[in-house]
Chain A
């Protein structure tokens, strides 16, 4: 018999705000990792709710692969202007130019894996001790076991065997110099929760989330946006399709799904009925059953 209306989205929101404020209270130099995707856009909204009318106690950090959808970059710049917060961009192209990483070759080449190096360099350069990310436990089974405060060693590595117990709503953010913590305020949200929240809060999203006509090719059974960033040859056949993207990653590794969904309501209907989980549209997870676990151990988001 609750005397006030506090539904599941309110509860998830309150939990996330609590976590963001713990970051502010416990760390010296936190940052919010912003990808331009709906999850990190949701984080920005939550940060507004946690800290307004004050400034965010952290900058936004975007690891730019150079292979982003232009729509994402446009969205990012417009949003930064609206919220008036600081943006730091870590450039994968710069890491390549400096010889720190080598561009992958072949048809399935993507800069997704290279991001890790740029991310770790950016963390080291600005001495970030906590990085807030939009990962959710429902995305993938390795994530299902990750803590909300997830400690990384100075090499950015996650050790699933050495995770700290996380009890009640108490988050232990104590670390040694060189270590940092990845913080996931929306760990307990599902994809559908995020969409329902975006609808409720009337949050604007990059246009690629909605149905549009685009030139695509078929790669490994999935639709990929035709772009200069994709290694294509004469076997690839470019055609036009009505598509949208369920996640915002690199153009080289984010698959499109056929969709007529032009409104958030359509998307929510589509997801409710959908039989492909979100990461299923990411080629980078398909490599092996333990792909995500391996990448997380190596310092990935």
Chain B
């Protein structure tokens, strides 16, 4: 059994919370006391049934305003998979929350209200999915009950969406007609849409192959911590602790340590009381090298035959996440895995109108703005392009005045 992390984009009006509530409810993932709280709440649907959306509305302000303003993580499991949902708000003022929720997901569910079809926010949500490199997309055409479960309505919508998917380079797009409110095609296949021969949403989620583990050959491990017991018995013990970002390290592999460029060979791989012959993407391990090289936190151990790029000047997509606008005259901190260094945004190449996908010139970057910039770093970063290696192609910007995380960066090219 493995984990599928998925992200849902959509607004309250699309019935997103109802969809998630329905998944939890129909998979028996709502516990009795939560159900009791739900039933005692005075929010009900028009027909008197419980409002499943309440299940995903966490904070009080959200309950008061009836909107989702942050990323809420929800968990459920079937006998096939464990699921982690990043539930995010869909309005444009919460773009940063969507970007956050999308950053860890392997699959996105885009909700479309069958009555409205592909609208501005569909474009926006799909753009974020493509920007964050989510490879698998499910387009759930919701509220089919409101359009008499019409195949024609459904087909018109997916024809329109296919054009958008192509424009955004979305590779694996799947379409499912649903009614979250009535439960059609969520867990059980609906008998009200005979014309749809595909799977229910849950069955699809259970079996989709998500490349959960990065299959790239780019073996990378940022060093988080050096284990040095310095005891009598372990006097010379020196282990480099970290999580393999991507690829595989094997015993006797030749490795390079960046930024120093030093070379060595993997002598031992440790995982607590085990000494495996290989360390794979996703695993947290301790590596031992044959040579005594100077390595500390912030360094990256990489496969010597597939080196990352190294540059102090990087072209990147930026999503701005702070209420205080980007200031191109000041220094920020950039955090790339375990490495932190100073940086500046030296140039804004363009901004994207995420409702229309049009690019335009800009000299300011405000909350929720997305566009292409040049980042100039104090120390060179050892990185891969985001599309090749998500884990080593991303970074965050930190404002050292407030210590807040103010930007998300996806590396697109080394400049020079």
Q: Which of B92-100, B111-119, B185-193 interfaces with chain A?
A: B92-100
Q: Which of A17, A170, A276 contacts B394 (CB 8 A)?
A: A170
Determine the residue in chain B with the shortest Cβ distance to A286: B33
A172 proximity list for chain B (CB < 8 A): 335, 396, 398, 403, 405
Determine the residue in chain B with the shortest Cβ distance to A297: B60
Determine the residue in chain B with the shortest Cβ distance to A4: B280
Whether A167 and B99, one on each chain, are in contact in the complex, defined by CB atoms closer than 8 angstroms, is: yes
Q: How far is the CA of A168 from the CA of B106 in the complex (A)?
A: 11
Whether B58 and A141, one on each chain, are in contact in the complex, defined by CB atoms closer than 8 angstroms, is: yes
Determine the residue in chain A with the shortest Cβ distance to B244: A14
Q: Which of B1, B73, B234, B398 contacts A188 (CB 8 A)?
A: B73
Map CB proximity to B onto A280-291 as digits: 1 under 8 Å, 0 otherwise. 100000000110
Q: How far is the CA of A53 from the CA of B236 in the complex (A)?
A: 12
Q: Interface size bucket, A side?
A: 35 or more
Whether B2 and A277, one on each chain, are in contact in the complex, defined by CB atoms closer than 8 angstroms, is: no
B59 proximity list for chain A (CB < 8 A): 142, 145, 160, 293
* Distance to closest chain B CB from A188 (angstroms): 6
Q: How far is the CA of A163 from the CA of B404 in the complex (A)?
A: 9
B404 proximity list for chain A (CB < 8 A): 164
Question: Within residues 3 to 62 of chain A, which ones have a CB less than 8 A from any CB in chain B?
Answer: 3-4, 6-8, 10-15, 17-18, 21-22, 24-25, 48-55, 57
Whether B1 and A8, one on each chain, are in contact in the complex, defined by CB atoms closer than 8 angstroms, is: yes
Map CB proximity to A onto B17-36 as digits: 1 under 8 Å, 0 otherwise. 00000000000000111100
Whether B408 and A280, one on each chain, are in contact in the complex, defined by CB atoms closer than 8 angstroms, is: no
Q: Which of A4, A53, A144, A275 contacts B73 (CB 8 A)?
A: A144
Whether A165 and B321, one on each chain, are in contact in the complex, defined by CB atoms closer than 8 angstroms, is: yes
Whether A17 and B82, one on each chain, are in contact in the complex, defined by CB atoms closer than 8 angstroms, is: no
A164 proximity list for chain B (CB < 8 A): 404-405
* Distance to closest chain A CB from B10 (angstroms): 18
Whether A161 and B61, one on each chain, are in contact in the complex, defined by CB atoms closer than 8 angstroms, is: yes
Map CB proximity to B onto A160-197 as digits: 1 under 8 Å, 0 otherwise. 11011111111010111000000000011010110000
Whether B32 and A170, one on each chain, are in contact in the complex, defined by CB atoms closer than 8 angstroms, is: no
Q: Which of B152-160, B162-170, B221-229, B371-379 interfaces with chain A?
A: B221-229
Q: Which of A144, A167, A187, A280 contacts B72 (CB 8 A)?
A: A144
Whether A54 and B227, one on each chain, are in contact in the complex, defined by CB atoms closer than 8 angstroms, is: yes
A103 at the interface (CB under 8 A from B): no
Assuming the A-B contacts A53-B234, A170-B337, are A137 and B73 also in contact, with contact meaning beta carbons closer than 8 angstroms in the complex?
A: yes
Q: Which of A15, A165, A188 contacts B96 (CB 8 A)?
A: A165
Assuming the A-B contacts A22-B224, A188-B73, A190-B77, are A167 and B100 also in contact, with contact meaning beta carbons closer than 8 angstroms in the complex?
A: yes
Q: How far is the CA of A160 from the CA of B400 in the complex (A)?
A: 21
Determine the residue in chain B with the shortest Cβ distance to A57: B225
Whether A276 and B224, one on each chain, are in contact in the complex, defined by CB atoms closer than 8 angstroms, is: no
B74 at the interface (CB under 8 A from A): yes
Whether B33 and A277, one on each chain, are in contact in the complex, defined by CB atoms closer than 8 angstroms, is: yes
Q: Which of B70, B228, B337 contacts A54 (CB 8 A)?
A: B228
Whether A25 and B225, one on each chain, are in contact in the complex, defined by CB atoms closer than 8 angstroms, is: yes
Whether A6 and B229, one on each chain, are in contact in the complex, defined by CB atoms closer than 8 angstroms, is: no
Q: How far is the CA of A151 from the CA of B398 in the complex (A)?
A: 14
Q: How far is the CA of A281 from the CA of B289 in the complex (A)?
A: 50
A2 at the interface (CB under 8 A from B): yes
Assuming the A-B contacts A25-B224, A167-B394, A187-B73, are A18 and B3 also in contact, with contact meaning beta carbons closer than 8 angstroms in the complex?
A: no
Question: Within residues 114 to 155 of chain A, which ones have a CB less than 8 A from any CB in chain B?
Answer: 137-138, 141-142, 144-145, 151
B278 proximity list for chain A (CB < 8 A): 4
B126 at the interface (CB under 8 A from A): no
A98 at the interface (CB under 8 A from B): no
B391 at the interface (CB under 8 A from A): yes
Map CB proximity to A onto B361-373 as digits: 1 under 8 Å, 0 otherwise. 0000000000000
Given A7-B1, A50-B284, A168-B103, 14 more A-B residue pairs with CB atoms under 8 Å apart are A2-B213, A6-B280, A8-B1, A8-B82, A10-B283, A15-B284, A54-B239, A57-B225, A144-B73, A151-B403, A165-B321, A166-B100, A169-B104, A188-B73
Can you name 15 A-B pairs with beta carbons within 8 Å? A22-B338, A53-B237, A137-B75, A141-B58, A145-B59, A145-B70, A151-B403, A160-B61, A170-B394, A170-B395, A170-B396, A187-B73, A188-B75, A274-B31, A277-B32
Binding site for B on A (CB under 8 A): 2-4, 6-8, 10-15, 17-18, 21-22, 24-25, 48-55, 57, 137-138, 141-142, 144-145, 151, 160-161, 163-170, 172, 174-176, 187-188, 190, 192-193, 274-277, 279-280, 289-290, 293
